[in-house]
Amino acid sequence: MSKRFFFDVENGQETIWDEEGVRADTLEQALVDARSVIRDMAGELTDDVLSGELMLVVRDEAGSLVAHLPIEKSQHRFSSSKFGNVQKLIRSHR
């Protein structure tokens, strides 16, 4: 039976909460989906986006933290105005 997993994005200052989630049969399947989101997000990050560490936080349907996955790019910046665009990237994978 599939479960719902949520992919939140944190930058140390703000969190974008994934309110829709994705269905996956296992945590491993959800992590494969999460890594796909990360690859696309890392490719979209630009230098005009606040320096800081970005993390994709995976929660299960009970709200429990099940994984922290770094979103890496050699140099990235993240501002509040750009932070909202990340949610569009996450949704584009659904």
Query: What are the residue ranges in the chain where pLDDT is below 70?
Result: 42-52, 73-94
Sequence ranges of the domains in the chain: 3-91
User: What beta strand segments (E) does 1-94 contain?
Assistant: 3-10, 15-16, 22-24, 54-60, 65-71
Q: What is the pLDDT of residue 53?
A: 76
> CA of 13: how far to CAs of 1, 8, 49, 54, 93, in Å?
36, 13, 13, 10, 25
Question: Can you tell me whether residue 80 is helix, strand or coil?
Answer: helix
pTM summary value: 0.69
* Residue 54: burial class (beta carbons within 10 Å; 0-12, 13-18, 19+): buried
Q: What is the pLDDT of residue 45?
A: 62
